[in-house]
Homo-oligomer: A and B are copies of this chain.
């Protein structure tokens, strides 16, 4: 069927047949105008009253009806510059209603009155909005660029199973029941991690996949039950090579899709640097301001700090007060002791510090001119808390203050690699946990240290660093990867450190440990969260908007009605 909506001057005087949705209806004297829409494109249709039969049909047409129009392409009298087809219009010679549309639940236009839950319930109507259609198209183009890129580099696209074994406690895995195996259960794969390692063991040097992953996690804002990641792994590789592969991919994506030139290599921060300077391992570097360790004040300024406490400072260009700071803390959902000092013309204007300290503080700052912003007035907010908490709070306040004072350039895309992570961290139950995953290798120069280390020596274990790397865009982690363990002895020791007993290791990982005894290459890889990256590229807040059929924040499908109560379905 001739349904070409790409009409321009060349089509003038041609006969066409178009089917689509009626996006807009205007009446002007004896004329009726329709904006006919299909796949994000619009063509203007004109119905003249001299064609009595079709004029009567046209009068019955309402918004979002699907209609068939035949007619002649004519040059428009007043050109619409906003439309690709704005030079022409169709004078209808035949008109048919294919499918009538009822009263719509929300306005089908870029500016809609439909709130998110309603739009998601009627997602198929949402797709008809030009801006939503463009997001769906963007995502399709995005995937194609990725595939062409890896295909050219000789990576093989390999599908790995999604129905798999429940692993490693399985606390975050959906459980799958099959009628063929009553009393047994599968898990939905959280990622292709183990499979891609096995591909490497199998001599497949370069693997990638745009993979569905599943996590049955506590419901948090903007998480999805199923999400999509670009997953890749390479044998005989280095951290440096993987980073380069990803940087060049991002250059290509941003260039092709956004016409932006990213500068590579991206900045790299060590984990410790990131925490010390920004209070987070996901720093938003669109704002240059840092947080500062003010512990040098401890003794000299007689602060009452206990051993574990630190003083971490963050600067505000606007003057602060008790109530404003409490507002800030409420917004980031934190409670802490703090001090603030407002400066005007290099003098203290206002503070909640004791007078005695105040004088000393001013003296001190005079000797540390670099700490003072080159502004007439500014404020220093000092968080007093345990070191890690103080940094975290200061880091969050840094971003909040930057946003409130419009110090973040929203046009900017600021990438940073974070590396030299700790290999382990302390869980809430004081057990040792993997910072990334249990397959990540420590830094090469720590091999001897690792081999000697006692698996119970938490202090020593927490000092180890991993060969892992995260990539952060505008303060959001968009991906993470690592070099992997290939030695079954090291792998076993890691499992023991993570407090897996012999039975658990045997049950869950015997096959992996055996696999590592048949000749295994060095390898490493990375996974990028595609939903999140697309949302960031398009400056969209919620990943729901970039997923064709997302679940609600509660993990429910409000359109179809899922999940369903057990026993509600006929076969149970």
Contact = CB atoms under 8 A, between A and B. Distances in A.
A570 B518 contact: no
A170 B554 CA distance: 23
A171 B557 contact: no
Candidate in A139, A203, A516 with the most chain B CB atoms within 10 angstroms: A203
A561 interface: yes
Interface string A55-79: 0000000001110000000000000
A115 interface: no
Contact of A511 (B102, B504, B559): B559
Interface stretch (A46-54, A182-190, A252-260, A359-367): A182-190
Given A98-B522, A161-B557, A563 B171 contact: no
B169 A569 contact: yes
A199 B169 contact: no
Interface in A1-55: 1, 3, 19-22, 37-40
B37 A563 contact: no
Contacts of A568: 507
A143 B162 contact: no
Interface stretch (A126-134, A262-270, A302-310, A377-385): A126-134
Contacts of A560: 164-165, 194, 511
Interface string A192-224: 001100110111111000001010101100000
A101 B518 contact: yes
A141 to B, nearest CB: 8
Interface stretch (A172-180, A326-334, A343-351, A433-441): A172-180
Contacts of A487: 99
A212 B159 contact: yes
B136 A156 contact: yes
Interface string A531-568: 00000000000000001110100110101111111101
A520 B184 contact: no
Nearest to A127: B202
A100 interface: yes
Given A164-B560, A174-B176, A562-B164, A236 B123 contact: no
B199 A127 contact: yes
A280 interface: no
Nearest to A204: B127
A199 B548 contact: yes
A478 to B, nearest CB: 18
Contacts of A557: 161, 164-165
A147 interface: yes
Q: What 7 A-B pairs have minimum CB-CB distances, sorted nearest first?
A: A127-B202, A101-B519, A165-B562, A184-B563, A124-B202, A140-B156, A39-B205
Given A164-B560, A165-B564, A181-B563, 5 more contacts: A39-B206, A165-B563, A178-B555, A194-B560, A511-B560
8 contacts: A1-B238, A99-B520, A123-B202, A124-B202, A160-B549, A161-B226, A164-B562, A175-B177
